[in-house]
Structure 1
């Protein structure tokens, strides 16, 4: 086993760093600062960060097939032209809920942009519950709502065979799996595949590696954990009724900050992991103990690689 190394690559102290995405064309890491209202791009070549400021909390960013990016901004799906620093609204959701905003989002293997909403927080992880929903923006720019009653819509990814959609509603303290139809983008029955341990705290962003294992950032837990989701296909489980085996934790990587928010793989061969973090909700004393809160970290030596991000097809 190669030795795991953790390096702080962007020492910015972002308020809520989130949604890391590797942009291969630019050899750069994209990410957002939600409450700081910025979309950021860190170049692995120059080690510099460029930012675009926006007019609302920006919670996720994704690549776009036609070039540039798509983002979730307030309760809008929007297009971002990087050079021009131009944001245009594609469509809006949750119009009856003025206190809501989008949270995490990701593009599925067919190019659809999934993102969920939540109520604005009173303070970190404290909010009016059951106000959120999960949405998909299709390539024709239509939007479908999958379900509501969500607390904090968070990490998402798809199994390597595209038959399972993994999803986190943070305050359920669970990583869930849905049957998934890649042809239509529809989700089926839901089950919990992993319940968080007390010290792991709140499940946040998530990504998958090339071995089909999930990596989950633990907010207030100061770590990323690697899970074996053990999703079994329908045939195999037919004889045991509706029993699905519970996933298990394979590995824990601790970081020097408590508020780890999300993770993705990047670098030349997707063997590096990038982890975002937050500083919102930390008092002076806490921040003095964790001066790197809100920074971006690079983890090497994990011995696994990640799956390149899919671009939005619209």
Structure 2
């Protein structure tokens, strides 16, 4: 086993970095800073970060941007407030693709990801009073289909979070953070239907809150543990944790594989909610980390087909 190396790649700290996505054609890592309303792109060649502040380009909302994904036809899609949006990176223009939770003024989207058929899945939650403190059971899971329709899957969600699909596309993995569980559903790729929800892993006390998640080519799940300062590797078939990678920050939020052969694990983190004494002990809180030497690879992200 080669030795694992962890390094921070972006000097600027995010208040709450989230939704890392590797974009192969630009050798870049996309991510968002939720409360700062920014969509960012870190160029792995120049090491520079470009950013779009969503509040400036979208007059009708003053809402957090919570996830970003690649769009097949060019540009990106993002979840902003309670809207699915399309972003033209060149002119920084944002267009509305559909709104949800119209009866819940205090809600916003959280994590989102595109499935292997090009549907953009994302779930909602109530706005937080403090990190992970919020009105319970207010969220739902949705998907934006390539034809523009928005489908609601289920409600009663606390904090809709990490999501991914098995290598054979027959299982959908999902995290509702405050259930402290990684769940699985049977998945029908043709229709996008889900069924038979079950828990495949319950988090240990020291792992704290499950947040963002991704899958590797061996079908194992990597879960970022908010307040746990780690990412864990799980076997969803046995329900066992295989590996723990500790990071120098407490609020690890999400992860994705990237780099030229998808052997690098990128991990986002947050600094919001840290007391001053903790911040002083975690100078890298809110940064993005690259982990190499894991000996496993991920897969390229799917692109929204609409």
Short-chain TM bin: over 0.9
Match of 1:236 in 2: none
- Give 4+ residue runs of structure 1 displaced > 6 Å after superposition: none
Task: Within 5 Å, give how 1:82-231 maps onto structure 2.
Answer: 82-230=89-237
Deviation at 1:194, TM superposition (A): 0.2
Match of 2:279 in 1: 287
Superposed CA deviations along residues 125-148 of structure 1, whole A, max 9, x for unmatched, are 000000000000000010000000
Distance 1:94 1:29 in 2: 30
Distance 2:189 2:25 in 1: 26
Which sections of structure 1, spanning at least 5 residues, go unmatched?
Answer: 231-245
- Tell me the matched-pair count: 299
Match of 1:242 in 2: none
Distance 2:202 2:11 in 1: 32
Match of 2:48 in 1: 48
Distance 1:12 1:202 in 2: 25
Deviation at 1:284, TM superposition (A): 1.4
Distance 1:175 1:90 in 2: 29
Match of 2:78 in 1: 71
Deviation at 1:286, TM superposition (A): 1.1
Which sections of structure 2, spanning at least 5 residues, go unmatched?
Answer: 56-62
Deviation at 1:283, TM superposition (A): 1.9
Match of 1:28 in 2: 28
**2:20 aligned with 1:2, yes or no?**
no
Superposed CA deviations along residues 97-133 of structure 1, whole A, max 9, x for unmatched, are 0000000000000000000000000000000000000
Three-state SS of the structure 2 residue aligned to 1:117 is strand
Q: TM-score scaled by structure 2?
A: 0.97
Three-state SS of the structure 1 residue aligned to 2:30 is strand
Superposed CA deviations along residues 176-219 of structure 1, whole A, max 9, x for unmatched, are 00000000001011000000000000000000000000000000
Deviation at 1:307, TM superposition (A): 1.0
**2:292 aligned with 1:300, yes or no?**
yes
Match of 1:234 in 2: none
Superposed CA deviations along residues 64-112 of structure 1, whole A, max 9, x for unmatched, are 0001100000000000000101111111000000000000000000000
Distance 1:53 1:279 in 2: 19
Match of 1:237 in 2: none
Q: What is the aligned-residue RMSD (CA, Å)?
A: 0.5
Match of 1:13 in 2: 13
Three-state SS of the structure 2 residue aligned to 1:10 is coil
Aligned equivalent of 1:270, options 255, 259, 262: 262
Deviation at 1:15, TM superposition (A): 0.7
Distance 1:89 1:291 in 2: 37
Match of 2:59 in 1: none
Deviation at 1:11, TM superposition (A): 2.0
Distance 1:247 1:110 in 2: 27
